């Protein structure tokens, strides 16, 4: 095999996903459905021997990574750069509460991400800088092989926008990144081929 295949995965459903709360750097555990989603993805990827596994250190990604890794004897490498966007004061709050308290900022977050600004967390450009730097380093370290990356919605969207050369103002274009959605990116001779984007066929 002379090519690199990245398997970029969002974590399974969490308690706060169900409650419609912003998570960011705060955490909540996988639900029973979230663990089931991860098991289904594990089954669909069961024939792949991982050359490396990278994960955000948050428990929801760590738990999802453990399930997908199954009994393969390979360490999970934690990278702070793969953590979710820091939402600052929004973390732990209900989406509805945020929309009512800060309607313009909430609208910018979803409709004009290039204009979104926060005094207490990260903006999209700051997250883009750290995650693109990290993915370039992973690609440098692994020119060939099957690499599993467990991360979060905003990070997945920014990584795929990078591979698609899509600007931040178009960040939220479809597809939606559902729990355990799989993006599969093939890199050969520096040529990028997106094989899957937000795939949930395993569910």
What mean pLDDT, rounded, does the chain reach? Answer: 96
Is the distance from CB of 93 to CB of 187 less than 8 angstroms?
no
Question: Is residue 107 among the annotated active site residues?
Answer: no
Confidence of residue 118 (pLDDT cuts 50, 70, 90): confident
Percent of the chain at pLDDT above 70?
Answer: 100
Q: What is the pLDDT of residues 146-175, one digit of tens each?
A: 999 999 999 999 999 999 999 999 999 999
Element (H, E) at 62: helix 59-69
Average pLDDT over residues 104-133: 95
Paired with 192 in beta bridges are 187
Q: Which residues contact 89 (CB under 8 A, 6 or more apart)?
A: 120, 121
Confidence of residue 135 (pLDDT cuts 50, 70, 90): very high
Res 189: pLDDT = 87
Q: Which SS3 state, helix, strand or coil, does residue 64 take?
A: helix
Confidence of residue 119 (pLDDT cuts 50, 70, 90): confident
Instruction: Give the up-direction half-sphere exposure of residue 23: CA atoms within 13 A in the CB hemisphere.
Output: 23
Average pLDDT over residues 60-84: 97
Res 151: pLDDT = 98
Res 92: pLDDT = 96
Element (H, E) at 65: helix 59-69
Q: Check 2, 13, 39, 84 and give the catalytic one.
A: 84
Res 162: pLDDT = 98
Question: Is residue 11 among the annotated active site residues?
Answer: yes
Domains parsed from the chain with CATH numbers: 4-85+124-199 (3.40.50.1240)
Is the distance from CB of 180 to CB of 202 less than 8 angstroms?
yes
What single-letter DSSP state applies at residue 114?
A: T
User: Burial letters for 158-184: b for 16+ Cβ neighbours within 10 Å, e otherwise?
Assistant: bbbbbbeeeebeebbeeeebbbbbbbb
CA–CA distance, 119 with 152 (Å, rounded to integer):
22
User: Over 90: is that where the pLDDT of 190 sits?
Assistant: no
Strands laid side by side in the 145-151 sheet:
76-78, 52-55, 145-151, 4-10, 182-188, 191-199
CA–CA distance, 127 with 84 (Å, rounded to integer):
8
Res 1: pLDDT = 57
Percent of the chain at pLDDT above 90?
Answer: 96
- pTM of whole model > 0.85? yes
User: Over 60: is that where the pLDDT of 184 sits?
Assistant: yes
CA–CA distance, 171 with 110 (Å, rounded to integer):
9
To the nearest 10°, report the CA torsion of 110, 123, 183, 42: -100
- Reference 11, options 129, 28, 19, 21; nearest CA is 28
């Amino acid at each position: 095999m002379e090519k690199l295949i990245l398997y970029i995965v969002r974590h399974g459903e969490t308690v706060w996903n169900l409650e419609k709360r912003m998570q960011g750097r705060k955490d909540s555990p996988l639900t029973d459905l979230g663990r089931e989603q991860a098991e289904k993805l594990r089954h669909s990827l069961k024939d792949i021997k991982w050359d490396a596994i990278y994960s955000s250190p948050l428990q929801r990604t760590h738990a999802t990574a453990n399930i997908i890794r199954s009994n393969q004897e390979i360490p999970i490498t934690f990278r702070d750069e793969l953590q979710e966007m820091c939402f600052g004061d929004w973390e732990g709050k209900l989406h509805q509460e945020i929309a009512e308290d800060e309607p313009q900022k909430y609208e910018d977050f979803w409709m004009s991400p290039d204009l979104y600004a926060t005094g207490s967390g990260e903006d999209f450009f700051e997250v883009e800088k750290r995650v693109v730097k990290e993915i370039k380093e992973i690609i440098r370290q692994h020119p060939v092989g099957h690499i599993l990356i467990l991360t979060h919605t905003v990070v997945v969207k920014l990584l795929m926008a990078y591979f698609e050369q899509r600007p931040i103002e178009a960040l939220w274009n479809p597809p939606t990144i559902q729990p355990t959605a799989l993006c599969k990116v093939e890199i050969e001779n520096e040529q990028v081929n997106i094989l899957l984007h937000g795939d949930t066929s395993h569910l």
